[in-house]
C-alpha cells in the first residue's frame, strides 16, 4: 500500500507530513499537537521558490524546528506555544523572519531583506550552510513520501 505520511522524530517532538492533504503536525505528546495545512502564503512563497504549496508548508514547519535546534532550543517556540495553546512567544516575528530567510537560502536565492537574519545567525555561531543542507535533505525525504516507506530517526 502507498505510504502517505512521513514522520521525522527528534528527542522532544515528532513532525508528520501527509503527502495527500499536505497537513503538517508537530506532536509533543498525544494531546499536545500543532496542525497546519497549506494556505495562500504557501502558494505565494512556493511559487517564488519552485515548490508546491504542500512542499513549502512542510519545509516552512521543518525550518521552524531546525532554526530552534541550531540555536540550542528543544523545538520551535512558536510551534510549541501553538501546540500548548499559549499566546505567541516573545520574538515570534524574528522567528518567522529567520524561517523565511532559511527557506529562501535553501530553495531560492537569498533576498536582501534576509541579510539581517543571516548576520544574526552568524553572530550566534549558527551555520546557515548546515541548516540549508539539513532542510534540503528533509525536503527530499518528504518528497518521496507516497512512493516509498521512509522513516527517519533524527537525534
Ligand atoms: Zn511560520
pLDDT tens for residues 119-146?
999 999 999 999 999 999 999 999 887 6
Q: Is 148 in a helix, a strand, or coil?
A: strand
Ligand 1 centre to CA of 78 (Å) is: 8
| pLDDT for residue 110 | 81
Q: Decide: 92 and 77 in contact? Cβ < 8 Å.
A: yes
Ligand 1 centre to CA of 124 (Å) is: 21
Ligand 1 centre to CA of 96 (Å) is: 5
Spans of the chain below 50 pLDDT: 148-150, 155
Ligand 1 centre to CA of 1 (Å) is: 32
The total number of structural domains in the chain stands at 1
CA pair distance 74, 115, nearest whole angstrom: 25
Cell of 65: 524546528
CA pair distance 54, 24, nearest whole angstrom: 9
**30 φ, ψ (degrees, to nearest 5):** -55, -35
pTM of the model: 0.91
Amino acid at each position: 500500500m502507498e505510504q502517505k505520511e512521513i514522520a521525522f522524530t527528534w528527542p522532544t517532538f515528532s513532525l508528520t507530513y501527509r503527502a495527500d492533504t499536505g497537513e503538517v503536525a508537530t506532536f509533543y505528546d498525544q494531546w499536545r499537537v500543532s496542525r497546519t495545512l497549506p494556505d495562500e502564503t504557501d502558494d505565494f512563497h512556493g511559487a517564488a521558490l519552485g515548490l508546491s504549496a504542500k512542499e513549502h508548508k512542510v519545509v516552512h514547519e521543518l525550518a521552524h524546528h531546525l532554526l530552534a535546534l541550531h540555536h540550542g532550543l528543544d523545538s520551535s517556540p512558536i510551534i510549541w506555544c501553538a501546540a500548548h495553546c499559549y499566546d505567541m512567544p516573545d520574538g515570534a516575528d524574528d522567528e518567522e523572519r529567520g524561517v523565511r530567510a532559511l527557506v529562501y537560502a535553501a530553495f531560492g536565492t537569498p533576498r536582501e531583506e534576509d541579510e539581517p537574519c543571516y548576520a544574526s545567525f552568524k553572530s550566534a555561531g549558527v551555520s546557515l550552510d548546515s541548516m540549508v543542507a539539513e532542510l534540503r535533505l528533509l525536503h527530499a525525504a518528504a518528497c518521496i513520501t507516497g512512493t516509498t516507506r521512509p522513516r527517519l530517526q533524527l537525534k
